[in-house]
Chain A
Amino acid sequence: MEAADLSHHTSRRFNEDLERVRSKVLAMGGLVEEQLAGALNALIEGDSKLGQAVARNDHTVNGMEVSIDEECSRILATRAPAAGDLRMIVATIKTITDLERIGDECEKIAHIAARLANDERPADRYRAVKHLGRITQTMVRDMLDAFARLDAQLAVTTARNDRRVDEEYEAIHRQCITFMMEDPRTIRRALDIMWVVRALERVGDHAKNVCEYIIYMVHGKDVRHTSLERVEQEIKSRNAQS
């Protein structure tokens, strides 16, 4: 199978339709990026109003998923796309599902942030969350950039970073448990933190999924259950051939 070639169509309208869908997905991605940034900010700065605003705004993300899904179904029904275009539509439908789930995780973080805003800020613990948040935000941004550029190499690199997210998550988890054992009074807050980092870990997983769809979209290879090293080798050999 060849790399996705979105520029050759019998109908120019079709091309425009596909471009429009892509832009809609990326607009949804931009909103999700903003939600993630807002939720983390609300937590770290103790801004309960921002937390509530982010939580309320999740319905906009859901609305975008529905709208793009309808558009994709329409294209499938009326244009019956094939090869690269079909892969793109299929990958898009899966991507928006993961984006919507990332939005849901942001809503969870925002709710907790709004609640914790009234408590005292613990400088050190939020630093770890801030760090994990930054890695996750970078993953989401890179995955969306890879989608926009149809860059499979970037997708692979980004998918790799999920490992770091998992490691950080484990570390914070252990830390929280230690705190809880030392001082039972911190249990409530530690539990909240654990929910937040769990949500971030899931965001990383969803971002990795989208990267796998991007690789599928560009190279036609389903890499969902393949090791990333093999995927990278595969991509390198294809780039050498073309």
Chain B
Amino acid sequence: MTGSKWWWTWLAARVVIALAAGFLLGLLFGYPYTGITIVLSALLVRELWALRRVQRWLQGVPGVEAPEVGGVWGDVVSLIANLQRRKQYHKQRLLRLLRELRRATAAIPDGVVALNSQAEILWFNRTAARLLHLRARTDVGLRIENLVRQPEFIRYLRAGDYAQAVVVGAALDADLYLHMQLVPYGDGQSLLLVRDVSRQQRLEAMRKDFVANASHELRSPLTVIAGYLETLAQDRSIDPSLQAPLAEMRRQSSRMTGIIEDLLSLSKLEASHGAADREAINVVAMMTQLRRDLLARIDPGTVVQIAAQSTDRLLGDETQVHSAFANLLDNAAKYTAAGGSIVMRWWADRDGGHFAVEDTGIGIAPEHLPRLTERFYRVDPGRSRATGGSGLGLAIVKHVLQRHGGTLEIASVEGHGSTFTCHFPPDRLVTGVATA
């Protein structure tokens, strides 16, 4: 109704009628134009008065209700009141949604902290407050790294690579371990997800302790058995028909010792924390020695070559690196038939130092490649049992590389051979000094 042209026409008509009445009244007294002026003034005053009431109402002067006025302003008032009601309705809806969201995030059993692009806290739920020792409301706006100060977490936050999570110990509680992961979203914002993984850590620790202890305990009895078997093998008075069984027993006991030694190395690697030491290792010299050792063990027909393109030295733990390289060579030897060739390469470039063992052995089918470094994983269980080995060699290599900040690359063509490459980062390299 309001705003329709009939309404305006009706208003115009009313004004005209009022003016006419004024004119006529004025005419009675002999001042018709004064009559019109008076009517106009009265209309003006009325409208201005209504306007003032509306203005006071909009200004929010306390106690002033929506004025009930006639005329144009009356309609304006009801339009504004409508607008306000709609806005209020939308606001209530949003508030309700927000409250629902808050309740939902509070119900999440993990801690959630929302961060902006500067890593400042936007909000967090109660679990996060408990796990990270945050204070509700007052900590909003502070940088997360100012309150969650574990160096490991700060490094994770700055590194920018959030594909992985990080597990940090809680500051005060030695038994509390927190699994933290940053998930970027929106416009540079991110969510920090925090989970209490203390129980899992405890179980992991128990498992590792168990493996280490069990291996240790098994070592001594095995040494005794191996010793006796060796003595018996050399004893001439033993029935010759027992020689073959004795030889087999020696082989098996030697295999068990090998598995236990590998388990112990792996345990030690897992137990050691952080990066490996940084002594300078002469890689070329190590390769020469490894080659000598290998040639003494394997079939004379197989060729072992060294291709060293760099005299750079590696900064690392000599024992660990030696163990890793030896394991790779053992694998190459095991899976390469007599007459094949094994090549050791060492080179350095912008991306760091690289050590590769290339063989012309039986190769590995592509489906096995992702699982190769798993403990005890066998491509061909039957064959492996015959050739021996613990199944832990590649797991050891992987762990050693992790300690040195490096990676293992495996390339293979079934029936032709395989290449295992250890990549070491540039900060583990020392430019070679020419040896006299």
Contact = CB atoms under 8 A, between A and B. Distances in A.
Main secondary structure of the interface of B (DSSP, over half): loop
B246 to A, nearest CB: 43
B288 interface: no
B171 A27 contact: no
A83 to B, nearest CB: 22
A67 interface: no
A134 B135 contact: no
A141 to B, nearest CB: 6
A93 interface: no
B146 interface: yes
Interface residue range, chain B:
10 to 19
A19 interface: yes
A29 B273 CA distance: 22
Contacts of B172: 37, 134, 137-138, 141
Interface of B: 133, 135, 138-139, 142-143, 145-147, 149-151, 154, 169, 171-172, 174, 273-274
A62 interface: no
Nearest to B134: A145
A228 interface: no
Given A30-B151, A30-B154, A148 B171 contact: no
A140 to B, nearest CB: 9
Contacts of A141: 133, 171-172
A235 interface: no
Nearest to B274: A53
A62 to B, nearest CB: 15
Most B-side CB within 10 Å, residue of A27, A134, A144: A27
Contacts of B145: 23, 26-27, 30
A41 B143 CA distance: 29
Contacts of A37: 169, 171-172, 174
Contacts of B139: 149
Contacts of A23: 143, 145-146
Nearest to B273: A53
A141 B143 CA distance: 16
Closest 7 CB pairs of A and B: A30-B149, A148-B146, A26-B146, A31-B151, A33-B171, A137-B172, A27-B154
Interface of A: 19, 22-23, 26-27, 29-31, 33-34, 37, 41, 53, 134, 137-138, 141, 144-145, 148-149, 151
B238 to A, nearest CB: 46
Contacts of B146: 22-23, 26, 148
24 contacts: A19-B143, A22-B146, A23-B146, A26-B145, A26-B146, A30-B149, A30-B154, A30-B171, A31-B149, A34-B150, A37-B172, A37-B174, A41-B174, A134-B172, A138-B172, A141-B133, A141-B172, A144-B149, A145-B147, A148-B147, A149-B135, A149-B138, A149-B142, A149-B147
Contacts of A27: 145, 149, 151, 154
A142 to B, nearest CB: 10
A75 to B, nearest CB: 18
Nearest to B169: A37
A187 to B, nearest CB: 30
Contacts of A137: 171-172
B151 A148 contact: no
Contacts of A151: 138
A144 B133 CA distance: 12
Nearest to B153: A30
A60 B100 CA distance: 47
Contacts of A30: 145, 149-151, 154, 171
Contacts of A34: 150-151, 171
Nearest to A147: B146
Nearest to B271: A49
Contacts of B138: 149, 151
A148 B150 contact: no
A37 to B, nearest CB: 7
Contacts of A29: 149
Contacts of A41: 174
Most A-side CB within 10 Å, residue of B135, B138, B147, B151: B151
A121 to B, nearest CB: 16
A206 to B, nearest CB: 17
Nearest to A60: B151
Most B-side CB within 10 Å, residue of A31, A34, A53: A34
A184 to B, nearest CB: 34
Most A-side CB within 10 Å, residue of B135, B149, B174: B149
Contacts of A148: 142, 146-147
Nearest to B172: A137
Given A41-B174, A149-B147, 4 more contacts: A31-B149, A37-B169, A53-B273, A149-B138
A109 B304 CA distance: 52
A137 B150 CA distance: 14
A37 B135 CA distance: 23
Most A-side CB within 10 Å, residue of B146, B147, B174: B146
